[in-house]
Structure 1
Amino acid sequence: MILDRFQVTGKVAVVTGSGRGIGAASAIALAEAGADVVLSSRTEKDLQEVAARIADAGRKAHVVPADLSDPGAAAGLAEAAKDVFGRLDIVVNNVGGTYPRPLLDTTTDFLEEAFRFNVSTAHALTTAAVPVMLEGGGGAVVNISSVMGRIAGRGFAAYGTVKGALAHYTRIAAADLAPRVRVNAVSVGTVATSALEVVAANPDLKTKIESAIPLKRIGEPEDIAATVLFLTSPAGAYVTGKVIEADGGLQAPSLDLGLPDL
């Protein structure tokens, strides 16, 4: 049956930023499809709650609280997977993000910090994971990018630049690592995560955002998790080097930050 191709039974995944939001939803989806999961983010309480959901799905979770803005901490998750589960098949580079700032307020230090948190950490974990993946015959990597990596909006100089870099890193890594390791990305639109809580709590602002999205709704973390599952499972076995746009059809930012002309 075609649904069998969406199973990852017996596989082992590492998901960064997996305490909540897209990372948590992706980790739970992979577990429900049969994988054991290494979870990592800063807050252990959040990770333990996700681990309990994974246990309810009949799979195992290993919790690694860490500051993943440190590429070395991200890289260490590959060894943790091998030590605890004996293998590694799937990596979801979800951790990332940065605050919007006007271009002239975006210092080089701010830009470089955003690059390290969004791109360097993904590279560190991917390069650490690949040798372990190859021991088991190969694997799949998914990088969580953003619609702001391909469209322009005021205030997103750092965020848009680094997410655009992560998208192209995906294409380059896929070329280097084919055929045994597939690398893809998800370009995420406006999704109901903790970063959007303040906005979503304002009914007028929420309505304004929804009206700007062609599908007329804010995405759910599970929308992205389903895409991650496709890309990491045998269902996506013929897909590599691609950036899947799970963004509700956005062609412009869903929220104008209101930054004035110079």
Structure 2
Amino acid sequence: MILDLFRLDGKTAIVTGAGRGLGAAIALGFAEAGADVVISSRTADELDTVADQIRATGRRAVAVPADLSKAEPNLLVDAAIAEFGRLDVLVNNVGGAFPKPLLDTRGKDLDRAFNFNVTVGHEILVAAAPHLLGNDDGGSVINITSAVGRLPGRGFGMYGTAKAALAHYTRLAALDLNPKVRVNAIAPGSIVTSALEVVAADDTMRGAIESATPLQRLGRPEEVAAAALYLASPAGAYLTGKVLEVDGGLLAPNFELPLPDL
């Protein structure tokens, strides 16, 4: 059955930034497909809620509250090996940066954005690699980038640059880890999560974004989770070094910050 290719039975996954939004949806989707999951974010209460949802599917969950920009890189990998004895999938979802006018952006802002969106994920990947390479059937790494990493938008100099770097890092890491470990990325567009809740609640703003999106709507977290499951599972076994654009068909930005011409 072709649906069997989307199963993760007996596998263990790490999902960062999993207290809510895309990370929570991906972690729950993996559990529904049969995986045990190590989840992490900075907010323990949110993690506990997601862990309970994972356990309700019949799978096991380990919640590790941590600021990954300051934590030891092997923290989550050690938790996976100690609890489950293996590691098969790593999802580097943690990241982000607040919009800021370009001329107000300083070097330290770019350093912080690059560290949070690229360096943290790289260090976890390096810690995970020996375990992924040691599996008979290898492993899968999925980096969450953004449509802003390829589409220019005012105010997104820090975030877009970091996410563009993460997309190319994905290609480079895939080449180094071939053929046993596949490394891919997902570039979401405007997805209804807490990051967009203000926009989604405003009919005018939401309507403007939807009308500028070819599919005429915002995305749902489970649609990104489905893409992650594809990349993590045997269904995506012939993909590496690729970026899946789960963005409603965007060819241009669908959200512009109200920044004036200089």
| Aligned amino acid, residue 168 of structure 2 | H
**TM score, norm. by length of structure 2:** 0.98
Q: Distance in 1 between matches of 2:64 and 2:4?
A: 30
Residue 236 of structure 1: how far off its partner (Å) = 0.2
Task: Report deviation, 1:74.
Answer: 4.4
Instruction: Tell me the percent identity.
Output: 59
1:90 & 1:143 partners in 2: Cα distance? 11
Shift of 1:80: 1.1
Looking at structure 2, the residues matched to 69 and 255 of structure 1 have their Cα atoms a distance apart, in angstroms, of 28
- Structure 1: segments with no counterpart, 5+ residues: none
Match of 2:201 in 1: 201
2: distance between equivalents of 1:76 and 1:253?
Answer: 37
Q: 2-side partners of 1:252 and 1:73: how far apart?
A: 38
Could you tell me how far 1:133 is from its partner in structure 2? 1.5
Query: Could you tell me whether the CA contact under 8 Å between 1:48 and 1:63 is conserved in 2?
Result: yes
Aligned residues: 261
What's the CA shift for 1:44? 0.9
- Residue 135 of structure 1 deviates from its aligned partner by 2.5
Query: Counterpart of 2:111?
Result: 112
Contact 1:103/1:155 (CA < 8 Å) preserved in 2? yes
How much has 1:252 moved relative to structure 2? 1.6
Q: How far has the Cα of 1:75 moved from its partner? A: 3.4
Unpaired runs of 5+ in structure 2?
A: none
Find the counterpart in structure 2 of residue 128 from structure 1. 127
- CA shift, 1:201, in A, is 1.3
Distance in 1 between residues matched to 2:191 and 2:164, nearest whole Å: 18
Q: Is the 8 A contact 1:143 1:185 kept in 2?
A: yes
Q: How far, CA to CA, are the matches of 1:73 and 1:234 in structure 2?
A: 31
- Alignment partners' CA distance in 2, 1:195 and 1:42: 16
2:152 and 2:200 mapped to 1: Cα distance? 22
Question: C-alpha distance in 2, partners of 1:229/1:64?
Answer: 22
Q: Could you list the per-position Cα deviations for residues 131-163 of structure 1 after superposition, in whole angstroms to 9, with x for gaps in the alignment?
A: 112222320000000001111111111011000
What code does the residue aligned with 1:34 have? Answer: G
Find out whether 1:250 has 2:230 as its counterpart. Answer: no
State the shift of 1:69 in Å. 2.2
Shift of 1:217: 0.7
Contact 1:75 1:121 in 2 (8 A): no
TM-score calculated relative to the size of structure 1: 0.98
